[in-house]
Amino acid sequence: MTGGADIPVLISSAGRRGALVQAFQQADVGAGRVVVHGCDMQPDLSAACLLSDHAHNVPRCGDPDFIDRVEEIVRQNGIRLIVPTIDTELAAYADAAARLAEAGAYVHVSPPNVISVVRDKVKTMSALRSVGAPVPATINEAELRAEPDRLGWPLFGKPVGGSASRGLGVYEDIDDLPDSFHEPMMFQPVLSGSEYTINMFIDRNGALRCVVPHERLQIRAGEVEKGRTTRRDDLRLLAERVHQALPGARGVLCFQVIDDTKSGPQIIEINARFGGGYPLAHHAGARFVDWLVQETTHGACAAHDDWRDGVTMLRYDDAVFTE
């Protein structure tokens, strides 16, 4: 990088996303450097906030004062780009994107109509099915109780609006179901096969510029712990289907696929944000963070699909210390 003005970027709900913070800090954006601001409910207990250049406290994303506080941080620090990192804050940011743009910050979030689809897994399945994308047969709790053998057994159940592997379960028969669930549920046949995350970058003009699949070799707490990039034409085609199903999507998205031994690759969910396995795509040459900052500062970016196949990521535990 050459000398130039600082580019302040806010990583929202930074939590444990230390690798994402460091990727922005090291972004190659030509003139200038990225200065990372992290925010969290308890920034002094957030490793990513401690790794950031500056840290700020915010209320919970569902709090009515959340966007007010974010706007305050934007105006006080000249924030140019806001990067949400968790599913539960996407709707708040999508609704407030125009307001925060007036304050000077572009929010890396798709429009509300896209977020409403990806935050409802039943709507996600319907949108994908409408463009011919392969998805598992899906029913809700009422349909399952009315026709227990409609999809056969066992079944995989998950919350319609869930995230971070919350509330997942496998049920062998109707007697395995509890009397009631705490939230709306959906059920699908149990799939068996290799799992993949496909990372996508869609530029501000709506063009799909980069698709990076990686095999999820080992998972811990819902996130990839060991993974390997892999070029597969069929997975690239699935990304094009996702792009077709969500024409308003912008920026970074990722979706999960199980390559079922019987039915082939099946899309099981979409996340309209950076995925936890993004550092693997980044290291392989798909530098989404650089391209987002380039778009923010120049209106265009150097996005490409020339990333390295066969790159393996092996994560390990590390720590940040403070006194």
pLDDT at 5 (0 to 100): 86
Confidence of residue 2 (pLDDT cuts 50, 70, 90): very low
Contact 137, 188 (CB under 8 A): yes
Per residue in 181-209, pLDDT (tens digit) is 989 999 999 999 999 999 999 999 999 99
Higher pLDDT, 296 or 5: 296
Q: Is 310 left (phi over 0), alpha (psi -120 to 50) or beta?
A: left
- By percentage, how much of the chain surpasses pLDDT 90? 91
Average pLDDT over residues 309-313: 98
Average pLDDT over residues 49-69: 97
Distance CA 248, CA 271 (A): 14
pLDDT at 255 (0 to 100): 97
Q: Which residue from 292, 304, 252 is spatially nearest to 274, judged by alpha carbons?
A: 252
Distance CA 124, CA 270 (A): 7
Residue 3 has pLDDT above 80, yes or no: no
Q: Which stretch of 30-39, 127-136, 300-309 has the lowest confidence by average pLDDT? A: 30-39
Centroid of chain to Cα 21: 15
Q: What is residue 42's three-state secondary structure?
A: coil
- The amino acid that residue 91 corresponds to is A
Q: Which residue from 117, 78, 122 is spatially nearest to 100, judged by alpha carbons?
A: 78
What are the respective helix, strand and coil percentages of the chain, to the nearest 5? 30, 30, 40
Long-range CB contact pairs, 222-226, < 8 A, 24+: 222/164, 222/165, 222/276, 223/276, 223/277, 224/197, 224/276, 224/277, 224/280, 224/313, 224/315, 225/314, 225/315, 226/312, 226/313, 226/314, 226/315
H/E element holding 141?
A: helix 141-146
Per residue in 31-49, pLDDT (tens digit) is 789 999 999 999 999 999 9
Q: Give the number of C-alpha atoms closer than 13 A to the C-alpha of residue 49, restricted to the C-beta side.
A: 18
Per residue in 8-20, pLDDT (tens digit) is 999 999 999 999 9
Confidence of residue 1 (pLDDT cuts 50, 70, 90): very low
Contact 95, 61 (CB under 8 A): no
